[in-house]
């Protein structure tokens, strides 16, 4: 249960103001078809986060639990610092020309997630917790929790979000989790 809750909350907060959330806003405004967009986000996130989780698990198997905790802790602290930098939508806009809402969202979202904070957090969480399925389910739910309101409420909702505070909250969450994992690695030496 801890892995699920940490995964949901970490990704939901990290996604606020992220480039994929901005991409969601652009797709929602362009297509005005929320269900195919959400389906595209769901499929892209499951695929992307499963891949990230598999990589995270593979790396974790080669290391001792103590080293994994230290690496995850350092990664989460770095993510906390990175979360303070606001994201901007980059070159994924051009994919919508000849495709429908679902396919455009699937492709654009999968590409935009590569190397993203939420993908890296998924890899780190998968390395830290024993259930890959639970972590991927949690990070996917967190992604949907952050993006569904944007899809349905569009620009009016986005204009009212206190993104600066949400980004700072995500940074604090990453930093706290990073310190917890570093403490586990150094002090507990599990």
DSSP calls for 44-86: HHHHHHHHHHHHHHHHHHTS-HHHHHHHHHHHHHHHHHHHTSP
Q: What radius of gyration, in Å, describes the C-alpha atoms of the chain?
A: 16
Q: Can you give the pLDDT at residue 94?
A: 46
Highest mean pLDDT among 53-62, 113-122, 136-145, 173-182: 136-145
Is residue 97 very low, low, confident or very high in pLDDT (cuts 50, 70, 90)? very low
Task: Specify which of 15-19, 79-83, 85-89, 168-172 reaches the highest per-range mean pLDDT.
Answer: 15-19
């Amino acid at each position: 249960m801890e892995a699920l809750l940490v995964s949901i909350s970490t990704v939901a907060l990290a996604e606020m103001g992220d480039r994929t959330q901005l991409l969601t806003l652009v797709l929602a405004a362009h297509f005005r078809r929320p269900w195919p967009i959400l389906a595209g986000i769901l499929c892209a996130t499951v695929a992307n986060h499963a891949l990230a989780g598999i990589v995270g698990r593979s790396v974790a198997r080669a290391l001792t639990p103590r080293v994994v905790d230290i690496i995850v802790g350092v990664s989460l602290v770095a993510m906390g610092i990175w979360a303070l930098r606001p994201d901007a939508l980059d070159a994924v806009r051009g994919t919508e020309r000849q495709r429908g809402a679902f396919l455009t969202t699937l492709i654009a979202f999968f590409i935009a997630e590569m190397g993203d904070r939420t993908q890296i957090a998924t890899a780190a969480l998968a390395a830290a917790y024993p259930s890959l399925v639970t972590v991927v389910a949690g990070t996917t739910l967190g992604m949907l929790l952050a993006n569904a309101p944007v899809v349905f409420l569009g620009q009016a909702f986005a204009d009212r979000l206190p993104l600066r505070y949400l980004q700072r909250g995500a940074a604090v969450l990453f930093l706290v989790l990073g310190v917890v994992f570093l403490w586990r690695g150094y002090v507990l030496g599990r």
